[in-house]
Each structure stands twice: as structure tokens, then as C-alpha cells.
Structure 1
């Protein structure tokens, strides 16, 4: 589909008020998206596991108004939060051509996370996807006749304009974003992985080790901009295409050893891009490196399929198949939790995507 296919042309603006509520998960990229062009178009394709427990729950109440300006208020975890307003305004400005009813109503946005905000878990992905889904439900309330396929694609399209990775949080288990030759995909929205997923990767586990719960050292927006003129950008983008093609074969064959190699290499490459940019950043903490080395030691000693991945921060996502859950959780509790801030970690697993709570 093209961007113009998502423009809402007819809707019933006489509806006075209403309320919708969605829960949308975070996701963890296996092939990393890093670098983007204008209008949130990715420089390279990515694929991610959709999570289950780490999610944002957002309720949007809308009330008819007379003025033509954007009108909204944001409440985060029960308290009014003006810090979020600039990002929401920017989002509204980007999507208003596709959801023109934004200027017809005042919106009260009540949102909360099940995980620490700005802690290296993709809160922008879950938050912007939840908001995009609420807007799509409002679009339906106003008379738009959306099929499920169109609904999900447009929700992903809108979410992308708020946060690139948010387009991968609408559905599950695996979502691809970014045009490439190896899978069905689009630069405009995320699409469910079209391969035949091997049982080895069903209900895959992700335990998130919270090494640093503070604000990220570098925002994703700043980080992506560092790829402009990066000396290794061209090679990195080509590598992502190649790794996605390899990973598709791995996900279909069930080759866990090959999965580990690709996923860990992608995580380290992401951080290598940050360390070799101008300005340069080291986002890992000493405890991040301690955890990685412990994981490598455990994998060799136990012939395990445990591996790690990282987003653009210090926290570590520990990935492993469900049949190793008991032994790996014991390892995490006994040896890795000590490297987490206040011993805090979150157990999660691959989920099926967003859920409508109230309409």
C-alpha cells in the first residue's frame, strides 16, 4: 500500500465524545534498525520479537470542540505530564493528513507502562503504537469501514510516524519492517514474518536485565542521525540486508546456534556504530560487559542456546528457548541479577501483539 491509501476522506464529525483503550507491547529487534531517512523511513530492514509483559496501556477520551487547533492533555501513570506534550504534538502534526479528525476533538491521553520508563526498554515503541491504535479505533467510531488488514497496516503506518520501531509492535510474533528482497516487507509499516516459524522459536523467552534504569545517554533520534556520514554506514546497511536473509532461513530451520551468532553480532554491531560515530558514545556499562561474559561462559559450560541482545543502552535482553527456561532463570537469579540495578530484572516472552481493552 502507498501512503496516500491511508488518507481518511470521509468520517462522521457529529459524534460528540467517546473513549477507547489499547494495550500494546514493546518489541526487541533481532536485526537492528539504525539510521533513517525523511518521514521515518528506515535505512535498513529490521525484524523483531514482539514481547508480551512489557507493554503500554493507553486510554484516549475524546470530546468534540469548536476551535481548529490541536487540543490534548497527557497523563502518565495517573499524573499530568507536560514533558510528553511536544512529542505528541509532533506526532499529531505528522499524521493529521491521515487522521484529520485530530483537530475536531480534545483528547485526554491516559497512559502507563508495565516497565520503567526510559530504561532501555522500547517505551516509545509500545507508547506510540498504543496511541496509534487508539486513533484507529476512534476512526472506526467515526464511521470508517476498516478491515482488520487495513486497520493493522494503518495503525503500524501511524505508529511509525511517532517512533520508527513502534510500527513493529502492532502484531506478533515476529514483525519485519523495511523493504528487502528476502521477505514480504514495506518501508511504510511492519508486516508479520511470512516464513514458516520453526517450533524452536515458539514462545521464545526474553529476560531483561536492568543494568541502568536511568534516562538513556543518547536518545534514539540523536543516535539515528549519527548514521549520516558515518564511515561504516553503507557497509552496515548492506550487512543488515544480508543478516535478515540469513535469519529467515534460521527461523524456518530451527538452527539455534546460527540464531545466537546472528543476534549477538547484530547487537554488538549496533554499539560499534555508536562507538565509531562523531560524536562517539559508549552506551554499555561495566556491568553490561560482565553480564555478556557470564552468558558466554554459561553457554559453553552448559551447551546452552542462551544469547543476548542490546538496544541502544546498557540493559541486556537475555534470549533463550522455552525448554531451557528453568535452568537459565536459575542462572540469572544466582549470577546475573547481582549486576542489575537493585537486582531488578523482568521476565518476558514472545507475544501476539496489541490488544483492544475498551471501545
Structure 2
């Protein structure tokens, strides 16, 4: 039996007529980046992320049995308004997961969803959105099969979420999550994410993430397009090797609490991600002038203050400012006095490390 086959459904009760489930699921920010994937949303390299807390998607999934079971049937209501823009992505998602949730064509679904942060702002709304939807669907399966264990529930939810958006598999649990096979991390898998299985130094507990919204517009390049640019990329192999090495280095960092080494790895990872986009064909520059101003200001402040403030980036212009809880007051003061001026309309979000999705 393949590992994928372990997630095929064995439904005990498929006579449920209707119902509603609601989950809130957070976004996450990768420390070692996943960039480049194989078929079926399999990552080219392992990644590790902090799960966020305040930045989340809240999704309610209503379902009503229908007579016609030949096609998928669903409506999407985003932040109170019917929205067809998300339908193609959800249709693709349903096609990918139908083998694992065979009841999908038995119901009409009403998907009501909202974010606590601006959509398409580079805060990985696909991660929180797809994980929340996967969890709602798993709640239906658990109603049909009450024997499902909590461990299996989370594992399969992560597996399903991955088929909607790769990084979504890292949003089910928290606070430090690994996705992708890595030779030194026991239990790591390409099929779903796991909680980091080893001890973590207190320096990394309750780590802070202030997200500076430099550009709240639609992303210049979709994640799918960006990942595909790694095919035949001249530096792809070196990049995947580098990510694997950085995962190994971070294991030591999490054990010892070495904040300076943490900063070196995380900032290098962020800049490498953007370097891959700048050296692909076609090529893209995803940072904005204010992104670079923020990075330089962080470097100058860190040198002057000796605080352990750092940054990371997703595939966009916004900046995640990372710092330990023990240095929060001084870092927040610096952010408000120096960095908020570079944000679009002065908008930023103060977040902290969270512990995964929750049923509502």
C-alpha cells in the first residue's frame, strides 16, 4: 500500500443530509523556503515554518445533499459577497482530493470565508484558506467515520491542504512545522507536514512577527507560476541543496538558542528566494523600493542596538520583521518610529507564533 492510499476514505455513514462546520486556520511564514515543486504538490526541498496566530482565515462550510452526483457543486462567499474568482482553484482542489473524499459530489457546498488580513497581500492567504477548507471537509468525514483519531485527522487534513496549496499543509498545527522529507528529521514527509519533533530553546518560544504591508495589491506573480520557474532554472539544484543544508543548521540553532545564526540563515533564505525569481526566465523583481529601505533600516538598527531583530520575505514586497519576545518593547518602538513610514497607508500587523487551527 502506498502512503497516499492510507488517506483513502472508509466511510461508515454516508446518510448525512446537511450540516455546517467552521474552522479558523492561520497563515504561516517559512524560515527555510519551499520554492519549486514536482508533480502532485510534492516539494523539491523540505521547509520549516513558524505558524502565525492573528493572521488567519475563518471558513464555514455548509453542505446539503443533492440528487445529481455527477459534478461538483459549490458557491463561494468571500467576506460577505458571492465571489466566483476563487471557484476555478477550488474546482481544481476538489478534483485532486475526490479520491480521498468520495462524498464531494454528493453535496452542494456553501463556502463562506473571510481573512483577518488583506487578501493577496503576501501573507499566504492560500495557506490559511486551503487549510481551513480542508479541515471543514475532514470534519464531515469524521462525522461519517467517528473512529478517525485526532492524529489521523490532522495528518489527512495536512495532506489534503497540500493538494490545494503546498504551504497550506504547514498551517494545521503549530508552532514550528516541517514539511518535506529531510534525512535528519524523523517522521518528515513530502505528503503532509509534522510538528518539529525535537526540543526547541526558550529563545524561540513566543517569537514575534510584525508584518509590514509595503504593497497590499495583488501579487505580481502567482505562487504556482513562481514555483514552475524553478523547472530548468540554472541554479535550481544548488538552491535545493542549500535549503537542505539550512534545515540541518537550524536544527542545531533550535537546540542551542543561537539567535545570531538564526538571523543569518533566515535572512539568507529570504534573499535567496528573491534571487531565484530575479534569475529565472522570465525574471521578476518582487521587492519594492520600500522593501529595500526597510531591510537596510533593520540592518542598521541591529548593528547599533545589538538586538536580535531580523526579517524574512514571502514571494512579494511585504516584510516580516522577526524578533524574540524578550526584546519586544524596543523592537516595536523601532518599528513604529522608523519602519511604519514605509508601509502602504502606514498599515502593519503585529502577530506572534501560534499553535495551529481551531474549530469554531
Q: What is the rounded CA distance, in whole Å, between the counterparts of 2:331 and 2:321 in structure 1? A: 9
> Which residue in 1 is equivalent to 2:77?
75
Deviation sequence 1:267-313 (CA, Å, 0-9, x none): 00000000000000000000000000000000000001000000000
Pick from 249, 267, 275 the counterpart of residue 278 of structure 2.
275
Q: What is the rounded CA distance, in whole Å, between the counterparts of 1:65 and 1:222 in structure 2? A: 36
- Matched ranges for 1:126-137 at <5 A: 126-137=128-139
Q: Displacement of 1:11 after TM fit?
A: 3.6
Q: What is the rounded CA distance, in whole Å, between the counterparts of 1:127 and 1:308 in structure 2? A: 24
Q: What is the rounded CA distance, in whole Å, between the counterparts of 1:214 and 1:355 in structure 2? A: 28
> Which residue in 1 is equivalent to 2:250?
247
Quick check: 1:10–1:144 contact (8 Å CA) kept in 2?
no
Deviation sequence 1:235-287 (CA, Å, 0-9, x none): 00000000000001101110000000000000000000000000000000000
> Which residue in 2 is equivalent to 1:284?
287
Q: Displacement of 1:195 after TM fit?
A: 1.3
Q: Displacement of 1:144 after TM fit?
A: 4.3
> Which residue in 2 is equivalent to 1:15?
16
- Is 1:27 the counterpart of 2:28 in the alignment? yes
- Is 1:353 the counterpart of 2:356 in the alignment? yes
Deviation sequence 1:43-75 (CA, Å, 0-9, x none): 000000000000000000110111111110000
3-state DSSP of counterpart to 2:214 = coil
Quick check: 2:220–2:316 contact (8 Å CA) kept in 1?
yes
TM-score, structure 2 length as denominator? 0.98
Quick check: 2:10–2:145 contact (8 Å CA) kept in 1?
no
- Is 1:300 the counterpart of 2:333 in the alignment? no
- Is 1:330 the counterpart of 2:333 in the alignment? yes
Task: State the superposition RMSD in angstroms.
Answer: 0.7
- Matched ranges for 1:1-359 at <5 A: 2-68=3-69, 69-184=71-186, 185-357=188-360
Q: What is the rounded CA distance, in whole Å, between the counterparts of 1:7 and 1:236 in structure 2? A: 34
Q: What is the rounded CA distance, in whole Å, between the counterparts of 2:27 and 2:11 in structure 1? A: 32
Quick check: 2:155–2:193 contact (8 Å CA) kept in 1?
yes
**Unaligned residue ranges in structure 1 (runs of 5+):** none
Q: Displacement of 1:113 after TM fit?
A: 0.2
Quick check: 1:25–1:52 contact (8 Å CA) kept in 2?
yes
3-state DSSP of counterpart to 2:64 = strand
Q: What is the rounded CA distance, in whole Å, between the counterparts of 2:241 and 2:198 in structure 1? A: 21
Q: What is the rounded CA distance, in whole Å, between the counterparts of 2:293 and 2:230 in structure 1? A: 28
3-state DSSP of counterpart to 1:82 = coil
3-state DSSP of counterpart to 1:348 = strand
Q: What is the rounded CA distance, in whole Å, between the counterparts of 1:256 and 1:81 in structure 2? A: 44
Q: What is the rounded CA distance, in whole Å, between the counterparts of 1:15 and 1:34 in structure 2? A: 40
Q: What is the rounded CA distance, in whole Å, between the counterparts of 2:144 and 2:43 in structure 1? A: 32
Quick check: 1:205–1:350 contact (8 Å CA) kept in 2?
yes
Q: What is the rounded CA distance, in whole Å, between the counterparts of 1:128 and 1:62 in structure 2? A: 17
3-state DSSP of counterpart to 1:42 = coil
3-state DSSP of counterpart to 1:155 = helix
TM-score, structure 1 length as denominator? 0.99
Q: What is the rounded CA distance, in whole Å, between the counterparts of 1:346 and 1:127 in structure 2? A: 18
Quick check: 1:11–1:139 contact (8 Å CA) kept in 2?
no
Q: What is the rounded CA distance, in whole Å, between the counterparts of 2:334 and 2:219 in structure 1? A: 27
